[in-house]
């Protein structure tokens, strides 16, 4: 059975230092059943986060090198890269963003848009990577996701709109209000794994209506039929699927950024963020990629996400580990098979693929082919 490429997302997580990238990655792995226990970044429990596998990373509580993994959320496969935040390691971010189709930009609910957030935003724009934003740390004192959303508009010049409102803030954070579906989501269970859908609290109804109207007005700019439906039926009579389609269209065109909120540390808001990745970020076949024909004055050749076509791949990172040199590769067209010969356009030589692995941070899983 052929794999449905529309059910795949290649995404990265990028942000300023200490905004919670690796903590969010750890929760994504947990909710996607890739790991069965959550560990904290600094490795206080002697284990440390999965995506920070270097001893120095666990000791310092920072990400130094990008780590890649693959998870499955519902029926969609997500290839995830967790990138460093420190400016010293910005080249790691550059080469990771080069191969991404979409990104989650994480912002701190207290500090908002910081210096490295601006750098990351510039990098995302340079590589034309659509993104959703996640305002993390809403459980901290002084958290204000609405202020952060306004900063994203003012400092980064993005058309950002709240997709969720927090139910309570600081130590009273209970859940989020989904402004598309107009429902309250609570995260029950020891690790927030059980979602409870409920009515929006009465004291939040006015705010929810206000921000939903703003969101629908912004989304309707990408879909005339949605605008007509709002004018005919009002804001409450609009189909949810039509709103999602309009927001997706704006996101893929890099003209809209949906802002989600929660706190990865206290396990609130991650599952709706995963739903947003699937709903709003592009599949590989929705992104325009081109190669350069070296035999024809570097003429652009469009690449197609089709595993029956000749293989075109980019080696975006080399890593010298205990098993020799590991080459991280993004396949844009065709597929790579173990044992087959590929042509290196830089060295102009053929080489044989000796071993093919799928990475889960530092762990390797042997596979026979990758596409």
User: What is the pLDDT, as a whole number, of residue 244?
Assistant: 92
User: What is the pLDDT, as a whole number, of residue 161?
Assistant: 93
User: What is the pLDDT, as a whole number, of residue 314?
Assistant: 83
Task: Give the Cα separation of 271 and 277 in Å (integer).
Answer: 10
In CATH terms, is domain 290-370 a member of 1.10.10.10? no
Tokens of 272: 């709706």
Domain locations along the chain: 5-286, 290-370
User: What is the pLDDT, as a whole number, of residue 306?
Assistant: 79
Q: What is the pLDDT of residues 237-288, one digit of tens each?
A: 788 889 999 999 999 999 999 999 998 888 888 899 999 999 999 988 888 8
pTM of the model: 0.84
> What CATH superfamily is the domain 5-286?
P-loop containing nucleotide triphosphate hydrolases (3.40.50.300)
Q: What is the pLDDT of residues 83-128, one digit of tens each?
A: 654 444 556 566 667 788 888 888 888 888 887 788 888 888 888 8
User: What is the pLDDT, as a whole number, of residue 85?
Assistant: 46
CA atoms within 13 A on the CB side of 222: 21
Q: Are 156 and 166 in contact (CB under 8 A)?
A: no
User: What is the pLDDT, as a whole number, of residue 94?
Assistant: 67
Residues of the chain with pLDDT below 50 are: 1, 47, 50-64, 85-88
């Amino acid at each position: 059975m052929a794999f449905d490429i529309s059910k795949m997302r290649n995404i990265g997580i990028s942000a300023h230092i200490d905004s919670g990238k690796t903590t969010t990655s750890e929760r994504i792995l947990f909710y996607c059943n890739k790991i069965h226990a959550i560990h904290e970044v600094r490795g206080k429990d002697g284990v440390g986060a999965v995506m920070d596998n270097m001893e120095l990373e666990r000791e310092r509580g920072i990400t130094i090198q990008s780590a890649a993994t693959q998870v499955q959320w519902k029926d969609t496969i997500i290839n995830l890269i967790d990138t460093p935040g420190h400016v010293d390691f910005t080249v790691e971010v550059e080469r990771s963003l080069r191969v991404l189709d979409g990104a989650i930009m994480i912002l701190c609910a207290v500090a908002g848009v910081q210096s490295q957030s601006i750098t990351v935003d510039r990098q995302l724009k340079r590589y034309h990577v659509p993104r959703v934003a996640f305002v993390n740390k809403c459980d901290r004192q002084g958290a204000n996701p609405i202020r952060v959303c306004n900063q994203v508009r003012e400092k980064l010049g993005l058309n950002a709109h709240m997709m969720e409102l927090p139910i309570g803030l600081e130590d009273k954070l209970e859940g989020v209000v989904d402004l598309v579906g107009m429902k309250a989501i609570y995260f029950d269970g020891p690790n927030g794994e059980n979602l409870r859908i409920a009515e929006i609290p009465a004291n939040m109804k006015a705010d929810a209506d206000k921000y939903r109207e703003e969101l629908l007005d912004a989304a309707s700019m990408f879909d005339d039929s949605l605008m007509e439906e709002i004018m005919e039926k009002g804001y409450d009579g609009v189909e949810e699927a039509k709103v999602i389609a309009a927001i997706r269209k704006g996101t893929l065109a890099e003209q809209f950024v949906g802002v989600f909120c929660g706190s990865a540390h206290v396990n609130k808001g991650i599952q709706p963020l995963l739903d947003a990745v699937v709903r709003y970020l592009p599949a590989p076949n929705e992104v325009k990629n081109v190669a350069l024909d070296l035999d024809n004055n570097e003429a652009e050749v469009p690449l197609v996400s089709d595993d029956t076509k000749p293989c075109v791949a980019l080696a975006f990172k080399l890593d010298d580990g205990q098993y020799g040199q590991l080459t991280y590769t993004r396949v844009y067209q065709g597929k790579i098979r173990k044992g087959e010969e590929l042509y290196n356009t830089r060295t102009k030589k053929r080489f044989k693929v000796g071993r093919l692995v799928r990475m889960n941070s530092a762990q390797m899983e042997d596979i026979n082919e990758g596409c």
